[in-house]
């Protein structure tokens, strides 16, 4: 088992546990549940696999209630979160309750948002069951839901009390979901860790095969990179924005194609390729790096072209309502070099559209 800490001061720092078989061990749960009430939030896909194990682990000591949500990005909306509030109110959960998010990023984001807003804030624990959630959305305290006009536009910053990453759950993860998670792992190498990026090129086949040592190392390095950024900038006032590398283009793809038709990691993968191409057009990285990334995405079974039915104007229209727009200017995360990301407003519409076209 590996452990690292997201450093946010004495009261709000929290651990991330990474290893096999963690979900059968009470010691990873009990220290982070402070009241006598627990609400496990999961979805229809994950519930048959892991719900009984978690519930039986806690049932002797706590009042345990359960919410099983529909599965899919298209359900990441306020109406779905209301089901969590209904359960909490109907079962008289108070301010000492602890919510447990058992699922992928959609479950984690909605559970975290419910925890942030129920009685103005209660504790929650993240148990991410997809690789993407394990290396990205479960860490950092971003919670929220989608709006038809933009992804994650309604939300709150609310840190978990602990993140419990059991690598055994990845054995039941569909191959497409696994690849989506690898996209976020690649992102960390691109934005802040060139050595890790080089390592990924060598080990990507082993990672895709879920070799335990490689898998744990990839998750650990990803979480450490994210924890370092979150510790420095919890509420995205500055450097934390680099974690959105590829996401502005990726979110546009998700919004245009319909949430869930492209997985988040798939859209981010293509978005990163567009962003790297744009970085090359700005004269900051060599064109060979675009080819290099495309090869790595190919090996990870990720898409490397934008949707054929999305026009350049459609990209620009959707990106105009992105959260990174400030004072009417679109801020993009681009690379000065591999491992060195920046936030910039310098990219022209002409260059942006050229990079979108180059990735068709």
Give the pLDDT confidence of 259-277 residue by residue, as tens digits: 889 999 999 999 999 999 9
pLDDT tens readout for residues 217-248? 999 999 999 999 999 999 998 999 999 999 99
Q: Which of 187, 251, 324, 331 is catalytic?
A: 251
Catalytic residue status for 158: no
Catalytic residue status for 225: no
Catalytic residue status for 236: yes
> What pLDDT is recorded for position 148?
86
> What pLDDT is recorded for position 174?
96
Q: Which of 221, 247, 294, 331 is catalytic?
A: 247
Q: Which of 184, 217, 254, 266 is catalytic?
A: 184
pLDDT at 325 over 80: no
pLDDT at 327 over 70: no
pLDDT band at 320 (very low <50, low <70, confident <90, very high): confident
How far the first Cα of the chain sits from its last, in Å, is 43
> What pLDDT is recorded for position 323?
66
Q: Which residues contact 152 (CB under 8 A, 6 or more apart)?
A: 109, 142, 144, 145, 146, 251, 323
Q: Which of 240, 294, 324, 331 is catalytic?
A: 240
Catalytic residue status for 299: no
Phi, psi of 239 (to 5 degrees): -65, -25
With residue 150 as reference, give the H or E element that holds it.
strand 150-157
User: What mean pLDDT do residues 14-42 have?
Assistant: 97
Give the mean pLDDT of the chain: 96
């Amino acid at each position: 088992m590996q452990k690292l800490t997201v450093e946010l001061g004495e009261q709000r720092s929290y651990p991330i546990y990474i290893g096999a078989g963690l979900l059968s061990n009470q010691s990873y749960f009990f220290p982070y549940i402070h009241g006598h009430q627990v609400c496990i939030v999961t979805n229809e896909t994950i519930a048959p696999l892991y719900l009984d194990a978690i519930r039986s682990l806690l049932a002797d000591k706590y009042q345990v209630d359960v919410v099983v949500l529909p599965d899919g990005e298209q359900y990441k909306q306020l109406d779905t979160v209301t089901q969590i509030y209904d359960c909490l109110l109907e079962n008289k959960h108070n301010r000492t309750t602890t919510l447990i998010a058992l699922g992928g990023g959609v479950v984690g984001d909605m559970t975290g948002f419910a925890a942030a807003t129920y009685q103005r804030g209660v504790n929650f624990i993240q148990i991410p069951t997809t690789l993407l959630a394990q290396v990205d959305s479960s860490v950092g305290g971003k919670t929220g839901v989608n709006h038809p006009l933009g992804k994650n536009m309604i939300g709150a910053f609310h840190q978990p009390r602990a993140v419990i990453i059991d690598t055994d759950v990845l054995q039941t993860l569909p191959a497409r979901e696994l690849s989506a998670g690898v996209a976020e792992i690649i992102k960390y190498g691109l934005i802040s860790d060139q050595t890790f990026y080089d390592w990924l090129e060598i080990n990507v086949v082993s990672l895709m095969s879920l070799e335990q040592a490689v898998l744990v190392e990839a998750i650990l390095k990803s979480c450490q990179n994210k924890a370092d950024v979150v510790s420095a900038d919890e509420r995205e006032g500055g450097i934390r924005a680099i974690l959105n590398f590829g996401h502005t283009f990726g979110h546009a793809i998700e919004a245009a194609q319909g949430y869930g038709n492209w997985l988040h990691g798939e859209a981010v993968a293509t978005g990163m390729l567009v962003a790297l191409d744009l970085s090359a057009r700005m004269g900051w990285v060599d064109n060979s790096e675009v080819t290099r990334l495309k090869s790595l995405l190919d090996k990870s079974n990720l898409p490397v072209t934008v949707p054929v039915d999305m026009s350049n104007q459609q990209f620009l229209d959707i990106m105009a309502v992105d959260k990174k727009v400030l004072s009417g200017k679109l801020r993009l995360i681009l690379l000065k070099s591999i491992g060195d990301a920046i936030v910039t407003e310098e990219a022209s519409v002409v260059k942006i559209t050229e990079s979108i076209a180059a990735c068709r």
